Amino acid sequence: MEKYLIVIAIGYILGCFQWSYLLGKAFKKVDIRTLGNGNAGASNTVVSLGWKWGAIVAILDILKAIISILIIKYLFKILVLKETDYYLYLNGLSVILGHNYPFYMGFKGGKGTASLIGMLAAIDYRIAILGIITIIFITFITDYIALGTLGLVTLFVITTIIFKYSTGSIFIAIIIALLSLYNHIPNIKRILKKEETRLRNTMESKI
């Protein structure tokens, strides 16, 4: 039980470094949640503050997940992934929960996509590469970042099963995918109403 608490606590604490909010407050004097679609994450930072800030936020959100999982690997001397993959998946989920529901922001944060990519990069480069290709391909084909993200989480579950990760890890992958789907329901509704900001519009209006 102690190990589980350590894994969850480290993940959640690092996840709470909500970079879109912190950088927005520090450098732009704005609360990112009052701009764009109201989400505190990299995609809304791109839409609201431009590509430069969005890229910085995405990189930092990816790094916090990587750092968190590397810490767990070091603390528990994880060398053989298949024997302890559940700890890493649980830590990744905790980072995403910290990102999505940071306590000091009234539990109103982001959607965890960049943190998920960081989690995958730190656990299994194969899933990370396939996931990045998927989100880029679907986003450019459909012109919607939200649909690319849903493609990413779907592939995440499928590859976790294909690469024979533990039942616990598969369960966590499903939780992460469902959480992402739930958080993207407003985006899906806006897409159906043709009110969602398209990637092309963002690229044309923000530098």
Secondary structure (3-state) at 164: coil
CB-based contact 147:138 (threshold 8 Å): yes
Q: Is the pLDDT of residue 184 over 90?
A: yes
- The predicted-structure confidence for 87-123, as pLDDT tens digits, reads as follows 999 999 999 999 999 999 999 999 999 999 999 999 9
Helix H or strand E encompassing 162:
helix 145-162
Does residue 189 have a pLDDT over 90? yes
Q: What is the pLDDT of residue 202?
A: 65
Answer whether residue 78 shows pLDDT above 70: no
CB atoms closer than 10 angstroms to residue 205: 10
Question: What is the DSSP secondary structure assignment for residue 77, as one 8-state letter?
Answer: T
Task: List, for residues 121-164, the tens digit of each pLDDT value.
Answer: 999 999 999 999 999 999 999 999 999 999 999 999 999 999 99
Cα torsion angle, 65, 71, 74, 75, sign:
negative
- The C-alpha atoms of residue 60 and residue 95 are separated, in whole angstroms, by 13
Domain extent, residue 121, equals 2-205
Q: Using CA atoms, how far apart are residues 30 and 158, in angstroms rounded to an integer?
A: 39
pTM value is: 0.92
Contacts of 1 (CB under 8 A, 6+ apart): none
Residue 57 to residue 3: CA distance in whole angstroms: 30
Residue 203's pLDDT is: 61
Average pLDDT, the chain: 91
- The pLDDT value given to residue 175: 98
98-124 core/surface letters (b: 16 or more CB in 10 A; e: else) = bbbbbeebeeebbbbbbbbbbbbbbbb
pLDDT at 80: 52
The pLDDT, as a whole number, for residue 47 is 82
The CA–CA distances, whole Å, from 152 to 57, 81, 134, 163 equal 19, 22, 6, 16
What is the total count of domains within the chain? 1
